[in-house]
Amino acid sequence: MEALEAIATNPAYHDYLAVLKGARNGFVYGVKVRFPHALVMSILFGRGDIQTRIRGIYRATKQHSFNLAKFVTIYKTLMLLQRKANGNKERSADTFIAGLIGGYVVFGERTAVNEQIVLYVVSRVVSSFIPRAHSPTAAPGAPSKPLPPDSRHFSLFAALSWAAVMWLYANRGWTIQPGMFHSMTYLYRDSDKWKNLKTLLWHNT
């Protein structure tokens, strides 16, 4: 045990152990994010008996957690290799290259879980172009705290986003992500149908 403790605290192994811890954190975060989401979705919208739902929760949680662990492992490994190849100096393009390869290898296969993760990432990338309320104060290259978007620009961004998705739902519904499509159907089309007071207020027909 003491030998393992010595390795864990030895600066010579830091970069390599950081890959291991990154994989661990990716797995844990994936479980924390996916398990409650899959559980709630199974309770609210799941089909089949309890065993079928449990298997679905397990599969979604397993895929999310392992994929995040794999992505972090690939990303940090490629960052380390690029830094070593460049005289122990990190270049700005290194993050893009590592993310590009990791994203293709891990999330390139289209599954329901991967699609949700990629769409989540895309939404954050797109929203990052909204002008910020203040200028960043951190030095170039240093991590900075997230800044809220400018309220006026955000209002326009929100309006255009909802205008676009409502038009797409009405005219090009087949292009919308399935989860979003089903949610919109529940909100906007199922609310047009009822047979009596019970199906008007208590549940859908």
Query: Do 67 and 102 reside in the same domain of the chain?
Result: yes
Residue pLDDT, tens place only, 137-182? 655 555 678 888 999 999 999 999 999 999 999 999 999 988 899 8
Query: Do 105 and 9 reside in the same domain of the chain?
Result: yes
Residue pLDDT, tens place only, 39-88? 998 887 778 889 999 999 999 999 999 999 999 999 999 999 999 999 99
Residue 87 in tokens: 């005289």
Query: Do 115 and 183 reside in the same domain of the chain?
Result: no
- For residue 47, the 8-state DSSP code is -
Query: Do 107 and 161 reside in the same domain of the chain?
Result: no
Do residues 37 and 112 touch, judged by C-beta distance below 8 A?
A: no
Helices (H), the chain: 2-8, 14-45, 50-85, 92-107, 112-127, 151-171, 178-184, 197-201
Query: Do 117 and 37 reside in the same domain of the chain?
Result: yes
- Can you tell me the distance from the alpha carbon of 153 to that of 130, in angstroms, rounded to the nearest whole number? 7
Torsion of CA 107, 110, 114, 119, to 10 degrees: 100
Burial of 128 (0-12, 13-18, 19+ CB in 10 A): exposed
What is the domain range of residue 153? 149-205
Domain count within the chain? 2
Query: Do 18 and 77 reside in the same domain of the chain?
Result: yes
- Can you tell me the distance from the alpha carbon of 167 to that of 172, in angstroms, rounded to the nearest whole number? 8
